[in-house]
Amino acid sequence: MKSRSWGCRFAGCVLLCPLALLAQSGAKASDAGAAFSAKQSAFQKSGSDALRRERARSKTDLCAAAAAKNGNAGLGACLVKEEKTTEENYTAYIRAIGGLLRLSAPDDRGESVQVQPGRLSFDNAEDAWRSYREQSCKSMATQWEGGDQAQVAYPNCILKLTWNHMKELADLYGDLWH
Domain ranges of the chain: 46-102+119-177
| pLDDT at residue number 116 | 67
Question: Does the pTM exceed 0.75?
Answer: yes
Give backbone dihedrals phi and psi of 107, rounded to 5 degrees, phi first.
-85, 180
pLDDT in tens, 95-133: 999 999 998 877 776 665 566 678 999 999 999 999 999
Task: State whether residue 57 is helix, strand or coil.
Answer: helix
**pLDDT, position 34:** 87
Q: Which CATH class is domain 46-102+119-177?
A: mainly alpha
Instruction: For residue 70, count other CB atoms closer than 10 A to its CB.
Output: 14
> Which residues of the chain are under the pLDDT cut of 70?
1-29, 109-116
Q: How far is the C-alpha of 18 from the C-alpha of 36, rounded, in Å?
A: 26
3-state DSSP percent of the chain in helix, strand and coil, to 5: 85, 0, 15
Rounded CA separation 109/19 (Å)? 15
